[in-house]
Amino acid sequence: MQASPTSWPRFRGAAPRILLLTSQYFLIGELAAACERLGVEHLLLDFGAKEMDLDEFVAAMTEAFETFRPDFVLTVNHLGVDREGVLASLLNKYDLPLASWFVDNPHLILGVYKHLFEPRAALFTWDLDTVAPLSDMGFEHVFYLPLGADPTRLVPHRAEPVKEWRAPISFVGNSMLTKTLMRARAANPSEHLFRAAMEVAKAFARSDAQQAGLFMAEHFPEVRAAYKGFGDPGRELAFETFVTWQATLLYRLDCVARILPFSPLIVGDTGWQELLSAQSGWRYHPELSYYDDLPDFYPLSEINFNCTSQQMKGAVNQRVFDVPCCNAFLLTDRRRQMEDLFEPGTEIVCYASPDDIPELVGRYLADPAARARVAAAARKRVLAEHTYDHRMTLLMETMRKTFG
């Protein structure tokens, strides 16, 4: 008897067959490339920015399921997963597991989705601090999976260095000014609530709290009650994101202010020109291409500076892996989960507080041999343990153990 189109065997091969679902996110390219290197059969279904009606979406997914017959579906940050639960219904019909790897705060993403708590859905999160809260929300399968690097993509492209990229210290990052204002507009609070949110953001930036929503519930219950009264999950989520990103803006501005005496080069959006308009001694460069420019850029800074988003108080961001992968030195803020990934002082140099930044910058600018030792040790660790091949291998093993 021929098997039903919805009932092919799962996880029978040496490596699983993976349907990669995306809607314009850089990390999917790394995962597809890792599948190629690992010999994993995969199909990339990219909706991009295309508008699709319900019938078109269902037809596209059904064709992919029945022709490719994957062992599971993989997405990043739930991109490609519709908020209404149509994909969830299709996955249930075909008895297909879903792996969703969150590399941004899942609490600022999941609130607008329906049909979240499906038994064959696994959440992977780059932030260990979010594992327990996601489990407490009702998700049955939650796993820690940190970020990594792709050494095959992070390679120089230029025969000659770009002179204007040379700097004693540089920072590559978004000012968060425009992003914060956009989230504020989406939340559309009253003027009084907007001002209150700005004060909450200051307190949240100074705290060790992991989630802005829970922080407000404990310390600013009147603000929490006000935005929860919107009656619109989208606006409520936008308000929490607004507070989180405003906290990031304040924190980054404080950290970057500490490197201004060292003639930094700051690369990012034009918000930096507005935020630092009264400051002198620094240079501005527009945003650079992640793949085409940054592998050439990082080695031209004696110190690459990093200050992490406030959406993650314990996890490390992409730059912690990328900079050493490019044979360059990084100075970053200390995060609790860092010591499980790198050896502090030997493979990574951290500041515990913004007050520590000037002394560390001065010390390592004056010690090129120490910078070279740390950069080399960090690159060795990345290549040995922290590539996207390592991450995909662990993800596939976890999916097989959980759903095979």
For residue 298, CA distances in Å to 162, 170, 182, 324, 329 come to: 11, 8, 30, 9, 8
- The pair of structure tokens assigned to 196 is 């209150």
Q: What does the angle CA 299 – CA 300 – CA 306 come to, to the nearest 5 degrees?
A: 70
Scored b (16 or more CB within 10 A) or e, 309-348 reads bbbbbebbbbbbbbbbbbbbbbbbbbbebbeebbeeeebb
Maximum separation of any 2 CA atoms in the chain, in Å: 77
The amino acid present at 208, given as its one-letter code, is D
pLDDT value at 91 more than 90: yes
Instruction: Please state which architecture CATH assigns to domain 163-386.
Output: 3-Layer(aba) Sandwich (3.40)
pLDDT value at 53 more than 90: no
Q: Return the SS3 of 378.
A: helix
pLDDT band at 2 (very low <50, low <70, confident <90, very high): very low
> CA 134, CA 116: separation in Å to the nearest integer?
11
CATH T-level fold of 18-148+389-403: Rossmann fold (3.40.50)
Q: Which residue has 């990093």 as its token pair? A: 306
Pick the range with the lowest mean pLDDT from 14-28, 207-221, 343-357, 384-398: 14-28
pLDDT value at 1 more than 90: no
pLDDT value at 396 more than 60: yes
Question: Count of residues for the chain?
Answer: 404
Q: What is the pLDDT of residues 355-391, one digit of tens each?
A: 999 999 999 999 999 999 999 999 999 999 999 999 9
| Domain boundaries, given as residue ranges, for the chain | 18-148+389-403, 163-386
